[in-house]
Structure 1
Amino acid sequence: MAQQKDNRIFKVLLAVLLLALIGLGVWSYSTYQENEGIKVALKDEKAQIQKELENISTEYSIEIDKGNALNADLVDARDRITRLVDSVGKLETDVRVLSRMRAELSNIRKERDLLQDRINTLEIVNQNLSKVNDSTLSALNSEILKNQDKNSTIENMNANMARAAALVPTNFEPVGIIVRSSGKQIENDRARRVDDIKVCFTLPENPLASTGVTSFYLQVINPDNNVLGLNKKQVFDGQELTYSKIVQFNYKGKELDLCEVVDANEDNIIKGRYRVNLYNGPIRVSSNEITLR
C-alpha cells in the first residue's frame, strides 16, 4: 500500500517536472525569438541612420562643388560625417551604439539646417548685391554721359565698390601628378608614383573685384599633418599661416583659370588623405581634399 502511494507521488512529481521543463523551453524559445527581433530592428534602424548621414554628406558635396563661400565649413561637416559612419560601421549593432548614432544624427541635422540657412542667406545677399551693383553701375554710367566733370567722383565710388567685392575662387581641384622628363604632367592617385600635387581653380568674372597683381597662399597638408612645398610661415594681423606656395596672378576682372604645382619632397608623398587650402591673406577662400592610394 505504501509502495503504491510512493509511486503515485513519484508520478506526480515527474509530471510537474515535465511541465516545468516544457514551460522553460517555451519561455526560452520565446525569449530567443524576441531577442532576434530586437537585433533585426536595431540593425535596420542603424542602416537607416547611416543612409541619412550619407545623404546629408552628398548634399554637402553638391554645395562644395558649386564653390560655395562656406566651402571650409561644409568640408569640415562632411569629414565629421564620414568619420562617424566609418567608425560606427565597424562596431556591432547594440543599444549603446544606436543611441550614440541617434544623438549624433540629431546634432548633424541641426548643423545642416544652420548651414542651409546661412547658404540661403548668402544667396539672397548676393542676388540683392548684384541688383544693387547693376543699378549703381548703370547710374554711374549715365552720370558719365551727362557730366564728364564727375569722372573723379565716379572713379572713387567704383574703387570703393571694387574693394568691397570678394574674389572667391571656384572649381578648386587638387590632383596628384607624375612629371615626365619632357615636362608632361600625368594625373595619378598612387602615392608611390606621384611626384607633386597640382591644384587648379577658376577666378570668376567680377567687374567689382580689385584688378592687378594679387597673391594667394596655397597650403597642402599630408596625412602626417606636414605642410608640403616651401613650408614657410607668414603672419597676418598676429595670425601665423604656414604655406606651401605663393600664387601670384594678374587679375583683370575677367574669368581666369589657374593651375599651380607644389614641389613636394618625395618622402612626404604618402598614402592617405591630403587637405588643400587656399588663403587670401589670413582668410581661407577655398578648400578641398584628395586621397592617394
Structure 2
Amino acid sequence: MKKQHKNNWVKIFFAIFFVFGLGAAVLVFSSESSENENQVEKENTSKISFVNKENSEQKNILDSLNTLKAAYDIAILEKTALSQELELERKNVENLMEIIKASQNPSAAQIKIFRNQLSDMNSSLEGKVVEIKKLKSQNKNLLTEIESQNVVMYNQKAENDTLISKQKKLESTLKDASKLSLSNFKVIALREKSSGAELETTKAKNTKKLKAIFTVNGNAVAKTGRRIFYVQVLDQKNNVLGDNKLIEFGNDKALVYSFIVSTDFQGKSVNVYGILNDQFKKGTYFVNFFDKQEIMGSASITLE
C-alpha cells in the first residue's frame, strides 16, 4: 500500500515537471520567434527607410535641376555672345533630368553621381553669370562711348553744315557780286545824210539802222577782260531781225540773237552800243539785251 502511494507521488511529480518543461520550452521558442520577427521587421523597415531616403534625394536633385533650368532660361534671355553656349548647357540639364526621371530606385552611388553633375552645372552657370555681367558692363561702356562719339560727330556735322552753308552763301554772294549789271537801255533810229553824217529819226522810210545803246556798270570784283553781250531785235510779227543765229549755253538754255556787242571791261563803267542794218517798216520794234542767256533789260522804238 505504501509502495503504491509512493509511485503515485512519483508520477505526479514527473507530470508536473513535464508540464513546466513544456511551458518553458514553449516560452523559449516563443521568445526566439518574436526576436526573429522583430529582426526581420527592423531589416524591412531599414530597407524601406533607405528606399524612401533615396527617392527623396532623387526628388531634391530634380527640383534643383528645375531651378537651374529656369536660371538658364533667364540668362539666355539676356541675348549676349554666350547665348549659344547657355542653350547647350541648358540642354545638358534637361538631359540629366530625363536620366534621373528614368532611374528606378537609384543607388547611393548613382545619387552621388547625380549630385556631382548638379554641382558642376551650378558652378558652370555661376561662371557664365559672372561673364554675362562683365559683357553687359562692357556693352554699357561701349554704348556710352558710342553715344559720346555720336554726339561729337553730330556736333561736328552741324558745324560742318554751318560752314558749308556759310561757304555756299559766300560763294553765292561773290557770284552775285561778280555779275555785271547793265543800265541805260536805249534804242534810236538813224538816217544818213549825203555827207555820211548820221542823224536820229523817227521815220521808217528814212531809217537805215537801229543803234542799241546801254551801259555796263562798274564792278570791282567782277572778272575783267573781254565781255560779250547779245542783242535781240524783234519786229511787229515777233521775228528776230539781223543775224538771227541760235547759241546754246547748256542746261537746255539757248538764245536767238540779232547781233553781238563786245567790250573790254576793266572794272569801271563803260558805255557800249551795237548797230543793226536792215530795211525797217512802220511799227514798233522791241530790243532785248542779254548777258549770255540772262536778259538784263529791254527797250523799244516806234517808227512812223
Q: What TM-score does the superposition give when structure 2 sets the normalisation length?
A: 0.44
Higher RCO structure (Cα 8 Å, ≥6 apart)? 1
